[in-house]
Amino acid sequence: MQTIAFFNNKGGVGKTSLVYHLSEMFAELGAKVIAADLDPQANLSTMFLDEERLEELWSEGPHEGTILGPVTPFIKGTGDVGSPRIESAAENIGLVVGDLGLSRFEDKLSDAWPRCMDRDEAAFRVISSFYRILLQSLETREADVALIDVGPNLGAMNRAALIACSHVVIPLAPDLFSLQGLKNLGPTLREWRAQWRDRLARFETHDLKLPEGSMEPVGYVLLQHSERLDRPVKAYRKWIDRIPGVYRESVLDSHRKPVPKVDDDPNCLSLVKHFRSLMVMAMEARKPMFRLKSADGAIGSHAQAVQDCYGVFKRLALRIAESCGVALPRMSAQRTGSKA
């Protein structure tokens, strides 16, 4: 069971759409998936669920069907983390539904972080809450992987969410803001990792499941780059060319030379172009772009774009699965069949 966060402290790069489509593609390839919406904006949940269902889950009351339910005892100061309720979002996909009320948990997480240094078990229970929710969700659904959407900031909530993850994928856009985000993000991940391991070394109670906080960088996905004659336009190229070096220095803390171009960079998991009108169709049809049919309006050049989109996300899912050790049953079956 692997937990993979998709994180960039710069918003608007297409992170949530990436998590949504990869959840669907992993499921397409036979993996059982938990899609966890740990962003208080809850955009991932709105992609999976219609407004009627969200209104039911967000109605007056304890919101037991969302991520807010299990952490409410901490917010109220009445107990430990509760059991999550998993929404069946699609075949092989269980959704930990997001909640705008999750922002109320931020202060508790911020307060608990320094108290861990005093070996305060209650503080460790607060900080490990997301990890234990993910663990229960994976075990309940017998899932292979959890894909986690988090908000675009370096606050206490994202720190707790990232500590809960074994791997981190960084979505980027080809612009100045993503480069600056990388320069902040890489050192912060290393700092959080070191600080958490320092706290773990002080913890003496062994009946509480705690994350290792490995947060291993898997690589980056370059999203929404415009193309002209199959080449990124000049306005984007200057930023694209700088990404491999900044990623290597800021995230991997490596100054090894020479720095490759993005097309040859082993840290670049995929170049995902902006499919533009396909996304509009997909939102109207409430399905991934790569499952659009002619009845949804995907005809002519759009039909070819759907096939291209399927290939892009399949290759990306395979790359991430290989890097993170995620089993893909249908791919294994195909390999076994071809050998036979």
Query: 227 pLDDT exceeds 60?
Result: no
Domains and CATH numbers, the chain: 2-275 (3.40.50.300)
Query: 23 pLDDT exceeds 50?
Result: yes
Higher pLDDT: 256 or 129? It is 129
pLDDT of amino acid 338: 47
- The mean predicted confidence, pLDDT, of the chain is 91
Query: 37 pLDDT exceeds 50?
Result: yes
Any idea which residue has 């309940």 for tokens?
140
- Give the span between the Cα atoms of 2 and 106, in whole angstroms: 25
Query: 274 pLDDT exceeds 80?
Result: no
Query: 276 pLDDT exceeds 60?
Result: yes
Token reading at 102: 């999750």
CA end-to-end span of the chain: 29
Query: 336 pLDDT exceeds 50?
Result: no
Compute CA 90 distance to the chain's CA centroid, rounded to the nearest angstrom: 18
- Give the span between the Cα atoms of 55 and 59, in whole angstroms: 6
pLDDT tens digits, one per residue of 130-172: 999 999 999 999 999 999 999 999 999 999 999 999 999 999 9
Q: List beta partners, residue 37.
A: 149
Token reading at 261: 């171009």
Compute CA 46 distance to the chain's CA centroid, rounded to the nearest angstrom: 15
Q: List beta partners, residue 5.
A: 148, 168
pLDDT tens digits, one per residue of 106-117: 999 999 999 999
Half-sphere exposure of 31 (CA within 13 A, CB side): 27
